[in-house]
Copies of this chain bind each other. A is one copy, B any other.
Amino acid sequence: MRIGELGEFGLIERLRGRLPPPHRGTVLGAGDDTAALRPAPGKLVLATCDVQVEGRHFRRERIRPDQLGRRAIAINLSDIAAMGGEPRHGLISLVLPPDLEVAFLDAFYEGAGAELARHGADIVGGNLSGSTGGIVIDITLLGEVDALRIVRRSGARPGDALLVTGNLGASAAGRAILEGVCPPAAPPDDDGPLLEAHLTPVARVLEGPYIAGEGLATAMLDVSDGLAGDLGHLCEASGVGVRVFADRLPVSEATRRAAARAGIDPLEWAVGGGEDYELLFTAPPGRAEDAAIAVERHTGTPVSLIGEIVTPERGRRLIWPDGAERPLAARSWDHFAGG
């Protein structure tokens, strides 16, 4: 069955039965003019939104609808985590071609709902609309954070250490494999983690609030545009420069092997690739090692010390062990560049 046959209200009715369990703060979920939410006393409400456009951010033939649902939620979870906050409520707006199969929508909602439910968040509203082109997904996610614990991107100071969770470049490697730019591994199962990193990235939902709650970070943001691009945002917001040590960048063996097959330097993916959804944060110099150990012990996620914050005049540089340097140029993914 196609969604055009079921119609807007038929679809809403159908989806209403598939929502994750309500959050304790939800006074009124989907179904009235608006949702009504009871904010936790003393906390700030966090609000973010992110759009995924078919043909630009994803291609229907390369990602299953349940993966697309998980992915669309995860990139918003990542933004909430990067402030040190916890996710609470999602609103899902979908613009869909009328000839789309209802099964696609069911699977999308299942993936999105499961990803929210896994972190205790619910779906409190949204919108379904017919498209004259491809699919457009817009998710708004609300979260909460202790007002005294929120971590902005503007707090980095010269002397701070620069740290990152997990590893970088795997998402770009996965994308390169999907796009045929990188030959698949033999056996192809070896590419599984790279494809997953790209298709269904894992937001650092535990790590962000832990880093914030323990007061470990002076600044934090998530790596969505790519290390170079996001470091640019951090440096601009904080009014600082940065030195990143090339040999410290955490790049997985699978990513290195894929880069070798593609005939490129894996650092290209680690520095410029983007969509890693790792957390990039700064910590006072004497406390960086302890912060890395504490995060890993508490969450199981490794943290790497990859650089240092310097004065703005010293710019943003990538440094090799032999002393060679190059500017960390932001090659941020521009959503108006060719699809």
Q: Which residues of A contact B (CB under 8 A)?
A: 3-4, 6-9, 11, 27-28, 31-39, 41, 44-51, 53-57, 78-80, 82-83, 85, 89, 91, 93, 95-96, 98, 124-134, 136, 138, 140, 142-143, 145, 147, 150, 152-154, 221-222, 237, 332, 334-337, 339
Whether the pair A44, B38 counts as a contact (CB closer than 8 A) is yes
Contact of A339 among B57, B80, B130, B145 (CB under 8 A): B130
Contact of A35 among B36, B48, B153 (CB under 8 A): B48
How many whole Å from A57's CB to the nearest CB in chain B? 8
Give Cα distance in the complex from A112 to B83, angstroms: 27
Give Cα distance in the complex from A246 to B37, angstroms: 38
Which residues of B sit under 8 angstroms from A53, Cβ to Cβ?
95, 129-132
How many whole Å from A166's CB to the nearest CB in chain B? 17
Which residues of B sit under 8 angstroms from A143, Cβ to Cβ?
34
Oligomer copy total:
2
Which residues of B sit under 8 angstroms from A337, Cβ to Cβ?
4, 7, 130
- In the complex, besides A9-B332, A32-B83, A131-B136, 20 extra interface pairs with C-beta distance below 8 angstroms are A3-B336, A8-B334, A8-B335, A8-B336, A32-B154, A32-B221, A33-B48, A33-B222, A34-B82, A36-B44, A37-B44, A49-B125, A49-B140, A51-B127, A51-B129, A56-B132, A129-B335, A130-B339, A136-B136, A136-B138
